[in-house]
Structure 1
Amino acid sequence: MELVTEARDVSEKFVKPLGRRWQHVQAVAARARELEHAVSESERSALVAAAWLHDIGYAPEIGHTHFHPLDGARYLKSKNWPDVVVNLVAHHSGARFEAEQRGMSAELAEFPFEDSALLDTLVAADLTTGPDGARVSYDERIAEILSRYPSSDPVHQTWLLAGPVIREAIERTEARLRDGHPR
C-alpha cells in the first residue's frame, strides 16, 4: 500500500495543477482498483501505482520531450521507482504506436515492453475513463480522442493504428475478470 500512497502523492503534486487531467487520473486509479482482479495479487499495487502515475509526463516540470509516456517514465526512473511501474508508465495505452508516429521509438526502447495482463489492465482502466473522469466505453473514448486531434496529428494517426490492438487488450482484461483469474 505504501507504493500506491506514494504514487498518489507524486501524481497529486504534478497532475493536480493540470486541472481536468487530475479528474481523469483519479478516476483511472479508481478504475484500476475495480479491475485489479484481472492481475495477480502480487501485481495489484504496481497496477494502481501506475494508474496514479500514468500521466505525470504532462507536467511542465517533467515534460521535456512533450511525449508524456516517455517523460513520465524517465522521471520515475530517475527517482528509482520500481521498474515494473516505470515500464507500465512508459508503455501505457498504445505508447509504442505513438512513439513510432513521433519518430521516438528508439527513445521509448529505453524501457522494456512487456505484453502482459498488467499492461492490459492499465490500458483498460485508462481507456474506459474519459478526460473528465467519467466512465465511458472504449469506443466512446477513442471517438473522443480522434475528435480532439486533427487527422494530421501524431495522436490521431496513432489511434487509427493502435485502436484494434488496444481493443484486444481491453477484451483480454474483461475475459480475465469473467474467468475469475489472471492469465
Structure 2
Amino acid sequence: MVKHSQLFLDGLFHPKKLAGYRMLSIGKVIQYVFILTTLVTIFYYIQYITGVSNENSFDIEGFTQYVKEIQWLLYPFALFILFLTTTTIFLIQISIFALVGTGLLKVMKKRGEYRHMWRSSALAITWPALLSILFPFLPIHNLIGTLLGILVTILLLIIAATKYPKLPVK
C-alpha cells in the first residue's frame, strides 16, 4: 500500500510515476487531496490571522473594533469557510486538469480514461499548491502565480501522459 508521504514526494519529484498511480483506489487519492488541502488551508489561515497578504486591505476604525469584539467567533468561522473554499477550488482544478489531460491522451494516442487522468491530476497539483503558499511572500503578481501553477501542472501531466500505455493498433 502506498503511503501519502510517498504520493507527496512522487508528486514533487517523480512526475513519471503519476501515470502508475492512475490505478490507485479513488479513496486513497481523495485522502491525499484532503491532506494537501488541509496543509494549504493551515498556511492560508496563518496568513489570515497574522495579516500577511500581498493584497491591499482597508482599515476602518469602527470595523476594526467590531472585528476585535467578535474575534472568538470570526476565526473558527473563517477557518471553516477557508477549508471549504480551498477544497472546492482544488477539486474543480483537478477536474479541469483531468479534462485537459484526457485531451492530451487522445492527441498523444495513449490509452486512458478521465478517471485515470483525474488521479494523475490530483497528484500533479502538488507543486502549484506548495507554490501558492509561497506566493504571498514573493513580489509576484497573483495572475503570474496562477499562470505558473497552470503551466507546471500541464507540464507534469504531459510527462505523466508519456508513460500511459499506447492505444492498440487497429
- Relative to the length of structure 2, the TM-score reads 0.29
Q: Which has the higher contact order (CA 8 A, sep 6+)?
A: 2
Larger radius of gyration: 2
TM-score by length of 1: 0.28
Give the number of the structure whose residues are more often helix, by fraction: 2
